[in-house]
Amino acid sequence: MELVEAILLTVITASTPLLLAASGELVVERAGVLNLGIEGMMIIGAACGFAAAFTTGSVFIGALCGIAAGAALAGVFAALTLGLAANQVASGLALTILGVGLSGLIGTSYIGQKIVGAAHLHIPYLSDLPFVGKMVFGQDAFVYVSVALIAAIWYFLYRTRPGLVLRSVGDNHASAHALGYPVLKIRTLAVLFGGACAGLGGAYLPLAYTPFWVSGMTAGRGWIALALVVFASWMPWRLLIGAYLFGGITILQLHAQATGLGIPSQLMSSLPYLATVIVLVVISWMRGKAGSPAPASLGLAFVPDR
Amino acid sequence: MDDAVAVAPGPGRPVQPEGQVPLLEAVGIVKRYGDFTANDNINLQIWPTEVHALLGENGAGKSTLVKMIYGLLQPTAGEFKWQGEPIVLTGPASARARGIGMVFQHFSLFEQLTVAENVALGLDTAPLAGIDERVAEVSRAYGLPLDPKREVWRLSVGERQRIEIVRCLLQNPKLLILDEPTSVLTPQEVEQLFRTLRVLRTEGRAILYISHKLDEVRALCDTATILRGGKVVGTCDPRAESSQSIARMMVGTDIGEVRSDGSKKLGAPRLVVRDLSLMPDDPHGIRLEGISFEVPAGEVLGLAGVAGNGQDELFAALSGEVRSDRADMITIDGRAAGRLTITDRRRIGVAFVPEERLGHATAPRFKLSDNTLISGHVAGSMVRGGFIDRGQMVAFVDHITKSYDVRKGKPDPEAASLSGGNLQKYVVGREILREPKLLIISQPTWGVDAGAAAAIRQAIIDLASRGAAVLVMSQDLDELYEICDRLVVICAGRLSAPRVTRHADRGEIGMLMAGVGIKGKEDAHAARA
C-alpha cells in the first residue's frame, strides 16, 4: 500500500512538467502554429529558473524567471515565423538547439549546486488522510497550477469569445482575416503563452522535481509534450489523461528497474519514448478513415495582403 | 480615358427623391500596387432598395473595390461617403458597424466549428449564449433552413452560403455585398437565393451584386456598373440591355462564338465505364455507385453537377489516381484500364486536366518548362535514357505559348506567377497538344476570363472533331450547353442517364443536379438490361 502510494505520488510529479508544457503547446497549435521549439523553451526555463532561485533563494521568483525565459525564446520564434513568415518547422528546431546550447552556458556556474525545492502543501488532517491525503492535499503549487491551467484553457477555448476566435484562426486563417480578426496578433499571443507554459514546465524540474541543475535535464520532455498534444487530439481534458499516462510509464520503468527484472536498463528508460511512437502510430492508424482533428491551418504561414 | 464615364442616374434606377443622398458613394477611388493600378478613379453610387450589379472580367478590379468597401483594403486615393458623410473604413468591423455586410465568394467559414460558432464569429458583440435561437429565428424568417449545432464540414455548398447570409442578416445590414454568390448553386438554389434577395430589397436594404453571369444580373439587378481594366466603363439598366451589349462593354470587343464545324462523325467508344463503384479514402468523400457511361470518338460528353457530388472521386478513378476494384470497370479504346496507373493510362493516349490548376495540374514553384514534364514524360523526346532534355522542354513551352496565347512576363516563369486564365491556357495546351485520344477535363474555364474561356472551349471542340473523345466536368451549365453533345448529371455519387444537349431541358437538368430523378443502383441495372 505504501509502495503504491509512493509510486502514485512520483507519477504526479513526473507528469506535471509534461502537462504544463503540453497545455501551452495545445493553445499554440489551436491557433494554427506548430512550435517545435518546446524542448528549447523548457530547458531555458529550467536553467533561468534555477539560476534565479539559487541567487534569490525564492522558488517563486525562480518560477517567474522560468516563465519569462520561455516566453522570451518564444518571442524569438514568433518574430521569425509570424513576423518574417519563416518556416515553422525549421525555426522550431533551430530554437530547440539554441535553447539547449544557451541553457548549458547559463547553467555552467550552477553545476553541483543545490536549492531547497518547492514546498508541499500541508493542510492539517486533510493531508494526513490515508492514501489520498498526500496525493490530493499534499502536492507542491506547480501541480495545482497545472491542473487549474487545463481547466482554464478548456473554459477559455470553449466558453469564451476570444477562445472561439483563437480556434477560428487555427481552422482557417484566411477567413478569420477576412472577418477582420488580427491573425498575427492572436498567434503571437498564443505563442508567447505557449513559451511561458513551456518555461514553467521546464522550471519545475530543477525547482521541485530534483532540486539541482544538470545540463540537458529536460531530456526530451519537450518532444513528448508535442506528441501529447496529438495524442489528446487537441482536447484539453484528454491532455490531462495523456500526461499522467506518460508520467506513469516513466515512473513504472524506474520501479521495474529497481525490482531487478532481467531487462537492460537502457531499454527500460527508452519506454516512455517508445510508448510515444507507438501511441502516435496507433492514433494515426485509427484515424485513417475518420479524418484529422488537427487545426486545418496548423503550421501554415500567414501573410495578410495590404 | 474618355470611356471612363462618370455615373449618371440611369433610367432603371429606383426612386431617388430630390434632396436624397446615396447610401454609399465611391468618389474617385484609386488603388495602386506599385506600378499596377487595380482601381483607377472609380465613381459609384448605391441607393437604398437598389440591387446594384458590379460586372467585369477577372482582373477588372471588382474584388479590389469591394474589399475596400468592406474595409479589408485601404484606397490609395479617393473617399467613400456613407449617407453623404465621408467615412474611413479601418477594417471589416468598422464596415459592419456602419451596416455593411458581405457574403464572400470563397466562403469565409470554419470547417471544424458549428454553424452557430461560425455565425458568432461574424458578429462583433453578440454573446455566445443564445446565438442558436437567433440563428434559428433568422433562418426561419428568410426561408434559409439551417441547424445551428452542425459542424460546417458536414454541410452542402448551398447550406454553407446560407450561413454566410444569415451571419450578415443578423447584423441587420443596410448594404449587403454578395461576391459571385451563384457560382456553386443549383438552378433551384439560385431561385431560392433570388427570392431571399428580393425580400431583403423590399425591407429597404441595398444589395451590391458581383457577378459575371449576365442572365442573372438581368433577372435581378436594377443598375449595373461595368468595370474593365480597373476603370468604370459604363453604367446601365441591365434589363434594358441585351446580354451581348453588356458583354461587349465588359470585354471591350465582341467575343467569338464557339462552334463546331457541324460535321460530327461519332466513332467507336473510346471510354467505356461499366458499373464503377468506389468507396472514398477520404471520410468526407463521396461514394461512387454503379456509374456507367460511354464516350464515343468525336463526342464531347458533359458531366453536370453541384460541386462535391462525386466529381472529384470520378476524376480520380478515371485518371488512375485511385485504382478501380476491377480492371473492366473502365475500358479505354477497348483495353481494360481500371487497374492501370496514371502513367500507363497516359501511354495509351489519355490526357487529364484536373480542376485545381496550382498544385494538381502544375507544381506552383516549378518553371513552366519543368511543369511540361508532369504529363510529358510518358511520350515524346523530353526524357532520354533517364536524362531530361531541357531544350525540348523549353521548345514545348514556346509551342504552347504560341498556340494558346499564354501571356507571361518572362520566357519561362514559375507556374504560380501566371494569372489563372493564362495558367489554364498553358495546362489545356500542354495536354491537347499531345493529341490525346481521350481527354478528361474538369472545370475547363473556372475563373478564366471570357476571351480565354472561348479559346479553351474552341480547342476542346476542335479536339473532338479530330476524332478524340472528351469528357468535360463543369459546374457551369451554360458552358456545358455550349460545347457538349450529350449531358449526364452526377448527384451523390450516382449518374443520370445521358441527355442529348439540344433536347435537354434546363429545369430537368437542375432537378437532376438536386438529386430528383436519378435512379438508384437497381434501376440503373434494369435500365441497361
- Distance between CA A113 and CA A55 in Å, rounded? 11
Q: How far apart are CA B249 and CA B235, in angstroms?
A: 10
Under 8 Å between Cβ of B80 and B119: no
- The ipTM is 0.76
Contacts of A171 in chain B (CB under 8 A): 110-113
Residue B231: C-alpha distances to residues A190, B32, B180 (Å): 43, 13, 19
Amino acid making up residue A91: S
Residue with more model confidence, A190 or B204: A190
Task: Identify which of A126, A97, A124, A120 has the alpha carbon closest to the alpha carbon of residue A39.
Answer: A97
Q: Is residue B507 scored above 60 in pLDDT? A: yes
Write the CA distances from A3 to A7, A13, A260, A269, B515, integer angstroms: 6, 16, 16, 20, 67
| Domain assignment of residue B282, given as a range | 269-357+437-528
% pLDDT > 90, chain B: 37
| pLDDT of B8 above 50 | no
Note the Cα B400 to chain centre separation in Å.
24
Of A171, A174, A181, the CB nearest to B113: A171
Closest CA–CA distance from residue B233 to any residue of chain A (Å): 26
Q: Are B193 and B309 found together in one domain?
A: no
Say what the pLDDT of residue B522 is.
Answer: 40
Structural domain contains residue A24: yes
Query: Residues B190, B321: one domain?
Result: no
Number of domain units in chain B: 2
Domain count, chain A: 1
Beta carbons of A164 and B128 less than 8 Å apart = yes
Name chain B contacts of A165, Cβ cutoff 8 Å. 121
pLDDT of residue A305: 63
C-beta contacts of A148-157 below 8 A and 24+ residues apart: A149/A19, A149/A20, A149/A23, A149/A197, A150/A19, A150/A23, A150/A236, A150/A237, A150/A239, A150/A240, A151/A236, A153/A23, A153/A26, A153/A27, A153/A236, A154/A236, A154/A237, A157/A27, A157/A30, A157/A236
**Other C-beta atoms lying within 10 Å of the C-beta of residue B249:** 19
**A and B: number of Cβ contacts within 8 A:** 60
Q: What is the pLDDT of residue A198?
A: 97
Does residue B418 sit within a domain? no
Sheet arrangement for strand B231-236: B100-103, B175-179, B206-211, B51-55, B223-228, B231-236
Three-class SS of residue B233?
strand
The arithmetic mean of pLDDT across residues B423-452, rounded, is 89
Both B231 and B336 in one domain: the answer is no
B282 in reach of chain A (CB within 8 A): yes
Distance from CA of A238 to the nearest CA of B (A): 18
Burial of B87 (0-12, 13-18, 19+ CB in 10 A): middle
DSSP of B468-501, one letter per residue? -EEEEE-S-HHHHHHH-SEEEEEETTEEPPPEEG
pLDDT confidence band for B528 (50 / 70 / 90): very low
Collect all residues of chain B within an 8 Å Cβ-Cβ radius of residue A175: 104, 107-110
| CB B188, CB B511: distance < 8 Å | yes
Separation CA B343–CA B323 (nearest Å): 12
Q: What is the pLDDT of residues B479-502, one digit of tens each?
A: 888 899 999 999 889 999 999 988
Q: Share the mean pLDDT of chain B.
A: 83
Q: What residue of A is the nearest CA neighbor of B111?
A: A171
How far apart are the C-alpha atoms of A157 and A211, rounded to whole Å? 34
Q: What is the DSSP letter of A211?
A: S
Cβ atoms of A81 and A32 closer than 8 Å: no
Q: Does B93 touch chain A (CB under 8 A)?
A: yes
Q: Which domain holds residue A278?
A: 2-287
CATH number of B283's domain: 3.40.50.300
Q: How far apart are CA A13 and CA A302, in angstroms?
A: 38
pLDDT grade, residue B523 (50/70/90)? very low
**For residue B91, what is the enclosing H or E element?**
none
User: Which of B72, B96, B110 lies at the smallest CB-CB distance from A175?
Assistant: B110
What CATH code is carried by the domain that includes residue A102? 1.10.3470
B108 interface with A at CB cutoff 8 Å: yes
- Could you report the per-residue pLDDT of B346-395, keeping only the tens digit for each? 999 999 999 888 888 999 889 999 999 888 888 767 888 888 888 889 99
Same domain, B341 and B473: yes
Among the partner-chain residues B93, B110, B128, the one whose CB lies closest to the CB of A168 is B110
More confident site: A133 or A215: A215
Helix (H) or strand (E) holding B77: strand B77-82
In a domain, A293, yes or no: no
| Chain A residue numbers touching B359 (CB-CB < 8 A) | none
Residue B402 lies in a domain: no
* Res B166: pLDDT: 86
* pLDDT grade for A125, boundaries at 50, 70 and 90: confident
Helix pair angle (B115-122, A161-171), 10° resolution: 100
Note the pLDDT tens digit of each residue in A18-72. 999 999 999 999 999 999 999 999 999 999 999 999 999 999 999 999 999 999 9
Whether B44 and B93 map to the same domain: the answer is yes
B111 with A160: Cβ contact below 8 A = no
Q: Per-residue pLDDT tens for B138-179? A: 888 887 778 888 888 877 777 888 888 888 888 889 999 998
Is residue A300 one of the residues assigned to a domain? no
Within a domain: B391: no
Whether residue A292 is contained in a domain is answered as no
